[in-house]
Structures are given as C-alpha cells and as structure tokens.
Amino acid sequence: MSEGRIVFETAGAQAHIRFDNPAAHNALTSQMWLDLRDAARAIAADPAIRVATFRGTGGKAFISGTDISKFADYTTGEQGVDYERGIDDCMRAVDAIPCTTIAIVEGWAVGGGLNIASACDFRIATPDARFGSPIGRTLGNCLSGASLARIAGAVGVQMAKRMVLLGEFLTADQLFATGYLLKVAAPEVIDEEVAALCLRAAENAPRTTRATKEMVRRMTMDSLPEVEDLIAQVYGSADFRRGVADFLARTKRVPDWTGE
C-alpha cells in the first residue's frame, strides 16, 4: 500500500476534503482514516463552514477501498471487532458534520468509499462511477452495524443487499434512478454542477441545516442493535483467514468458502 494523504482545505464558507492516493486508486490507509476523522471534526468546530465536499484525486476513483494488509495478522474475532470500532469512530465524525456534505464520485466508490459517500447528504457522479462492497466475494468479512445502517439508509435495503450479498457493482444510472445520486454529470461539467450545488447549500439557513441533519442522524444511527457478537464470529472464522490470504496473494478468484 502506497503512502496516501488527506488534503483538507477551506475557502470562505466551503471546506474541501480530497482523498489523495492515486497509486492505489485512493484506497484509504489507517492514517488517512484518522486524518479524515480529524478533518471532519475541524469542519464541525467551524461555524463559518456551510458546505463540505469529498473527492478523490485523479478522476478515476473516489475511494477504491481500505488497506487490509493488517488483516493477515488477525487470529481472533475480537481484532475484527476492534477494527470495526475504529472505522465507526472515524465515520461518526463524518456523520456529525453539521453543514451540508457532498460526495463527488468519479470512478470507483468501493468499501470505505461507499460508506463515506453514503454518509454525505448528496452525491454527484460521473457516468462511469461504480459503487459496491463485494466483501462476500473477496475477504469474507462483514460490515459493522453502523456501516450497514448508513449504507442501507442511503441506497435502500435491496440495493445494499445486491452490493453485499451478491457482490454487484451498481452503476451511476442505476443509483440515480433510486435517488441515491442527486445528479449524473459528464466529467467536463461536473465541476460546474458541484459549484452550483455548493452555492445553493451555503445559502441555506445554517440552523435549519444543522437541526435537520442531526434529526436524521439520530433517526438513522441512534439505538442500533448490538451486533459485535456477529462481527466477532465472522472475523474469527477460517473463511475470513482464507479470504484474506487469497486476496493478498492476488489470486483473483472467489475463495472456496466452507462456512467455518
């Protein structure tokens, strides 16, 4: 995994977060996750910011996933529980951003990329954008309860099942039809579309935006059921260890799952 970074900039009422790891299609390293959390908290602490955008570098990927090399050292389910808790901590900071958030998706939004895009209030994508979380065909791990609630709440339960249970990658046109995407815009006009949306969002009454976002967050994320026992069962399984080994070996095949 190459060394990536989070680029965080502000300009007046706008904040911009860019996932900068083009050599790995903007996959997130552990440090990038932590820097994303810190940038999200900085946005939340600045009442002058009215809108925040999230985008990948290079125009070919939003985020292609997460560095999972550490999974090769996992021997217990509790390590997987700790990993998902760490991701949840970072994602809670994104959920708690009180201003309007916009994901600009060019190319792949996979795994953590799907999670982050789903945390945003609006998504604009190029026609070649693809969205998925094919963990049941690659690693054999699972999402946290918060991640599943966030994704299913944004894209719809049936579309979430297609991405996770069938390992499908859904297109921009498919997700525009569901309302998940606000717009599908060609690369040559997407910046113009984003600028117009940022301006409109920044003009909204900030207390209206803050209150509405917090109400939706509480309805979606508060009082989630306890699921860490299920996460431990998955991350502690022989199937998970087999999936990680095959993935890191780049076999490009679906592992021969045994259910053990």
pLDDT reported for residue 3: 85
Decide: helix, strand or coil at residue 130: strand
pLDDT reported for residue 253: 87
pLDDT reported for residue 147: 98
* Residue 2 pLDDT greater than 90, yes or no: no
Q: For the chain, give the mean pLDDT.
A: 96
* Residue 99 pLDDT greater than 70, yes or no: yes
The tens digit of pLDDT for each residue in 52-62 reads 999 999 999 99
CATH topology of domain 5-188: 2-enoyl-CoA Hydratase; Chain A, domain 1 (3.90.226)
Q: What order do you get walking across the sheet with 100-105 strand by strand?
A: 5-11, 14-20, 51-56, 100-105, 122-125, 183-184
- pTM of the prediction? 0.96
pLDDT reported for residue 251: 87
- How many percent of the chain have pLDDT more than 90? 96
- How many percent of the chain have pLDDT more than 70? 99
pLDDT reported for residue 133: 98
* Residue 207 pLDDT greater than 60, yes or no: yes
132: DSSP letter: E
* Residue 1 pLDDT greater than 60, yes or no: no
What is the pLDDT averaged over residues 229-248? 96
Decide: helix, strand or coil at residue 213: helix
What is the pLDDT averaged over residues 122-142? 97
* Residue 79 pLDDT greater than 70, yes or no: yes
What is the pLDDT averaged over residues 219-228? 94
Q: Tokens for 88?
A: 């949840």
What is the pLDDT averaged over residues 129-140? 97
* Contact between residue 133 and residue 111 where contact means Cβ atoms under 8 Å apart: yes
Tokens 């984003």 sit at which residue?
Answer: 194
A 10 A CB-CB count for 53 gives: 23
20: DSSP letter: E
Q: Which helix (H) or strand (E) holds 61?
A: strand 61-63
* Residue 100 pLDDT greater than 70, yes or no: yes
